[in-house]
Amino acid sequence: MFAALHVKSEYSLGHGTATPTELVRRAAEYGYSALALTDVETLAGQVEFHHAARAYGLRAIGGVELRDEFVPGELGRAAGRLVLLARDAGGYASLCRLLTHRRAGRAGDNVRDCLAIDPTGLFYLSDDPTVLSSLLRAGVDPRDIRRLARGGDESPSPVRAVADPDVVLLDPNDRELQRLLVAVRTQQRLVDVPAAAAQWLPDPRSLRERFGERLLGESSRLADACTFDLGAVRAELPRWHPASGAAPADYLAALARERLAAGRAAGRWRDATYDLRLSHELAVVAELGFSAYFPLVCEITDHARSEDIEVAARGSAASSLLAHVLGITPIDPLVHGLYFERFLHPGRRELPDIDLDLPSDRRDAVIEWVLRRFGPERAARVSTVQRLAARSAARELARALDLRLPDDDDELPAALRAPPWRALLGRLIGKPHHLSVHPGGVVVAEPDLATYVPLERVPSGMVVTQYDMRSLARLGLVKIDLLGNRALSALADARRLAGEPDLAPGRDVLTWQRLRAADTIGCFQIETPPVRATLRKLPLRDLDDVMAALAVVRPGPASGGARAAYIRRARGEEPPVPPHPRLAAVLRDTHGMLVYDEDVIAALAAMTGWSLARADAVRTALIDDSADPAALSAVRREFLAAAAATGAAERDAAAVWELAARFAAYSFNKAHAAGYAHLAWRTAAMKSHHPAAFACGVLDHYGGHYPLRTIAADLARHGVRLLAPHVHHSTVATTLEAGAVRVGLSHVKHLTTASARQLLRARPFADFAALLRAVPLGARELPALVLAGACDGLAPLDPDAYPLAHEALLARLEPDRSPERLRGLVVRAPVGPAADLYRRLVRVRNELACLHMHLSDHPLRILRGEAERAGCVPTPALTACTGREVRVVGLIAASRRHRGARGRVMQFVTLEDEWGLVEAVISSAVYAALGDPIRNPGPVMLTGRVEIDRGHPHIDVSQVQPFYRRARPFAGLLRG
């Protein structure tokens, strides 16, 4: 039996090539008894490594290699390196403390840093005699020190020696990949990276030949002394210390019942089923030992609301009545038929995830509060390992080969398509590149983080865990995702401006009219073309129908025909026949179809008599990519036997199983749909009742499907008057002004918040020269502010002389921004139709460039005369053109390419003119013939046949042409 005690993985960034799992698998194939993972200055791969070793029956040894002068991007010096191995839990905790000291603090000498933390439970290994001597002089027990010896090394030493394979590669085939990783890390050309003598994991014969029995035997004995198994660690939940001194389960039950009673006093939760459901959930939570977790999350949500920060749990947590009555989620699971078992049941031993949505502009404040509340010893930000995606990997390989990769081209250069480089690129994709901050992840530990997790300071200055979210979860640590949601930010701003406390889902006629008309541009989750088309076709009665619309547009149901079938059934055009008569009751609300995860659970339970908990465990197994096919076959046999025991025919039960197995792969969490629909309804209600306030919120915080110009144009079509940002009238944020909406200075491209605030403090300005004297604007800030029209009216910037006066001013200031250079500058406004057209078009163009939206006018309204001469019809006229070939012109509001099963590409396009939006489809044949015809926002002319689907037109495109290529542009103007 063999043990390798010095092995690096891909987490030695830009150095090692193999994943921890690949190393473990190869070691098991070779017959190793133990393997130590000793990445350079990090434990990031240890959780994956230990769990993989458990699966392969291998002893995993946690360790690290310390190097002087190590910084991210540089490996430091190999001379003087010190390898540490954790002998026991104390040794692992010592590694965590040491790395936190070095990586989150200031690294010094390897040996001094190590001994400064008063370590226990470690073995000390080095190939440097100076390091070994330093350890001995410092009083480290010689029995804990080993010399790392290369093959044939018989040099004398005061301590025993072990074999040093110094593994960096998985096998010899990794040598070129390793050179490329070094080139990526050091930003060198590949030809300038020498071929290093990196070692790969040796097979047993090579081990014996290189090291001999003495060194290998000592390595095995040392490995046997390392008994710590990180895979067996389950972190302790943070302790809850209520003032009453009650146990966590008693405290949670009392808190939940107190809030249930308060809700009842307000007229909610009157039915006795709430008591039964709450008692059941409390019992399950107590049985699983999670009673301390819910008060912790509740404290966070309570704090957020005390600061007037809206917060709501995302995902399956909405299935919990306990979470609902505690105020963690606004979704009432009994109203929407949500199963607690989808969130938690006795078969789910892992800590549940409760991800919290917060306004994106307030999230950091809540994160900072959590870190203060639990202290740096117990709480930290979570890291994420940034890996090379296909595009970034191609860029790195192209740079290493001295090739240029165009910014706007998805195709690989010909050189990278050659077999050797294409294969190497494939291996580079997915490799870790650097450690960064997870946008909202926070971890809380008991008694402290150092027991479980090393910390590191990333380049931004934040201190994060070296473990990512997945690794922390496998350790059982409390991790909470505090996620930024732009829609919540928009809603909060709109509510503040409108003076409206809330618009919760209800029987509001105006909002339901908007939803049924699918007039939902700018509304959370319900603005995309597929969702709007579904909303128009469904008979919407309540929020459950909005939930269904969000579920059936997911890629699986939509591509498999389930969306169309659901719509037909909802409209009464097709009978709601369930897959089996026994499922009629549980699938009544979804018209006899599987739509949600919960429907899979209900179907499995109804066919077998299983509990919902057991049915959910089977559903989870069906979607587990790592599940053993033989185990799934056994579960299938168990399902068929259970169904047969209840009287179901084997053929019928098998059909239900196949349907459930197929659907489970893409089904949608009903609790997730409920949360989305709830927020979607509220944004639609705000747009319906307070359109101007809604505009302020959505313009400042929009992060949805369309460009901001499309949102602004939609708001204008709905009667919202949008005023351009102005140094005299705007604030930083967008706000209301005499019934109109004044766009904030934050929208001016390149203008920093600091400069915007300086403008507010210094105004008013007598003229533009006064502005220059008062506020020092940057080289990119000044032209953006001027061309956006934000200084119009400040002499010499006459709005009627736009853009000539503005361009002349910028030209005067180009060599020297002295206000005196503007003395005597006067630009007369040209007159006439051509000048007016030029002024309008250039203003719109500059607004798009500087504000990302057009405020003065819609480009197609300016060009409507040209469009008519080109034979283009406006979008409102399309309904009357059914079956006819027409030509339309517009801007591209959205575009999506879809690659079919045969690899052929088709394109879905949303076209926008001054009147509204229309959908267009470019078939795969037309797409291939035209050669990817839409690559910019337009304006573009589409020619095609108008088709009507339940009263709503779309265009089957046959030809695409840029609008500027129309025949005889501006001919009418020139004749005039």
- 235 neighbors 476 (Cβ within 8 angstroms): yes
At 545, give phi and psi (nearest 5°). -70, -35
Provide CATH 2.40.50.140 ranges for the chain: 861-975
User: How far is it, in rounded angstroms, from Cα 891 to Cα 15?
Assistant: 48
| Amino acid type, 45 | G
**pLDDT tens string 209-264:** 999 999 999 999 999 999 999 999 988 887 755 666 788 899 999 999 999 999 99
User: If you average pLDDT over residues 562-568, what whole number do you get?
Assistant: 93
Residue 419 has what pLDDT?
82
Alpha helices in 829-886 (DSSP H): 833-851, 859-862, 864-869
903 — pLDDT class (breaks 50, 70, 90): confident
Q: Give the strand pairing for 32-37 and 2-7.
A: parallel
**pLDDT tens string 82-105:** 999 999 999 999 999 999 999 998
408 — pLDDT class (breaks 50, 70, 90): low
Residue 406 has what pLDDT?
66
Residues contacting 369, CB < 8 A, separation 6+: 303
User: How far is it, in rounded angstroms, from Cα 654 to Cα 383?
Assistant: 44
976 — pLDDT class (breaks 50, 70, 90): very low
User: How far is it, in rounded angstroms, from Cα 644 to Cα 652?
Assistant: 10
Residue 931 has what pLDDT?
87
- 906 neighbors 898 (Cβ within 8 angstroms): yes
**End-to-end CA separation in angstroms for the chain:** 94
Tokens representing 711?
A: 């949102």
- Any idea which of 143-157, 181-195, 432-446, 780-794 has the lowest mean pLDDT? 143-157
Q: Give me the CATH code for the 706-857 domain, please.
A: 1.10.150
CATH superfamily of the domain spanning 861-975 = Nucleic acid-binding proteins (2.40.50.140)
User: If you average pLDDT over residues 837-855, what whole number do you get?
Assistant: 96
- 840 neighbors 849 (Cβ within 8 angstroms): no
- 39 neighbors 65 (Cβ within 8 angstroms): yes
Tokens representing 819?
A: 């206000």
Taking CA atoms, 512 is separated from 487, 544, 689, 746, in Å, by: 19, 13, 12, 33
2-232: CATH topology is TIM Barrel (3.20.20)
Instruction: Count CB neighbours of 248 within 10 A.
Output: 23
Among all chains, which residue has been given the structure tokens 């429907």? 599
User: How far is it, in rounded angstroms, from Cα 775 to Cα 760?
Assistant: 10
On the question of a cis peptide bond just before residue 939, with omega within 30 degrees of 0, the verdict is yes
Provide CATH 1.10.150 ranges for the chain: 706-857
Rg over alpha carbons for the chain, rounded to the nearest Å, is 33
Residue 223 has what pLDDT?
97
SS3 440: strand
Classify residue 732 by burial, with Cβ atoms within 10 Å: 0-12, 13-18, 19+: middle
| Residue of 22, 13, 39 whose CA lies nearest to 396 | 13
Residues contacting 308, CB < 8 A, separation 6+: none
974 — pLDDT class (breaks 50, 70, 90): low
Q: HEC states along 325-368?
A: HCCCCCCCHHHHCCCHHHCCCCCCCCCCCCEEEEECCCHHHHHH
User: How far is it, in rounded angstroms, from Cα 138 to Cα 111?
Assistant: 9
Residue 241 has what pLDDT?
59
Provide CATH 3.20.20.140 ranges for the chain: 2-232
If phi over 0 gives left and psi between -120 and 50 gives alpha, with beta otherwise, what is residue 932? Answer: left
Entry pTM: 0.90
User: How far is it, in rounded angstroms, from Cα 509 to Cα 483?
Assistant: 32
